[in-house]
Structure 1
Amino acid sequence: MAAEAYTAARERGQDPVLAVMRVTGRSRRRSLRVIASARDAGLLSPRHARR
């Protein structure tokens, strides 16, 4: 759910963290943790390209 909100907000050009905050009802810090766990699970692309 959070990964879908994140990607949809990025496609619309909005702040993806705020979108996750709205969906989850969590604080910014908690939302960033949710996003990080979604990245670890492979639901989102990595932040940085590996060299």
Structure 2
Amino acid sequence: REGRRLVAQEYRAARAEGGDPVLAVMSATGHSRRRSLRLIGQARDEGFLAPRRARR
């Protein structure tokens, strides 16, 4: 759970600076792109990040 909070924090910081949020998560966690995307998805599911797109 704490790891997903870190992922969300790194993701938001990169977005605010205009950088690539996935690369920021990759460098912060040391995981591959695929694993980082999975962690970002899990952070979204737990409510640390906004949903990817609006539900219809």
User: If the TM-score is normalised by the length of the shorter chain, which range does it land in?
Assistant: over 0.9
| Cα distance in structure 1, aligned partners of 2:34 and 2:55 | 25
Select the residue among 14, 18, 22 that pairs with 1:13.
Answer: 18
Q: Give the counterpart letter for 1:45 in structure 2.
A: A
The CA RMSD over aligned residues, in Å, is 0.5
Displacement of 1:38: 0.1
CA deviation string 1:5-50 (max 9, x = no partner): 0000000000000000001000000000000000000000000111
SS in 2 for 1:34: helix
Q: Give the counterpart letter for 2:35 in structure 1.
A: R
Give 5+ residue unaligned stretches, structure 1: none
2:36 match: 31
Give 5+ residue unaligned stretches, structure 2: 1-5
Give identity over the alignment, percent. Answer: 65
| Cα distance in structure 2, aligned partners of 1:13 and 1:49 | 22
SS in 2 for 1:26: coil
Extract structure 1 runs of 4+ deviating beyond 3 A.
Answer: none
| Cα distance in structure 1, aligned partners of 2:52 and 2:7 | 16
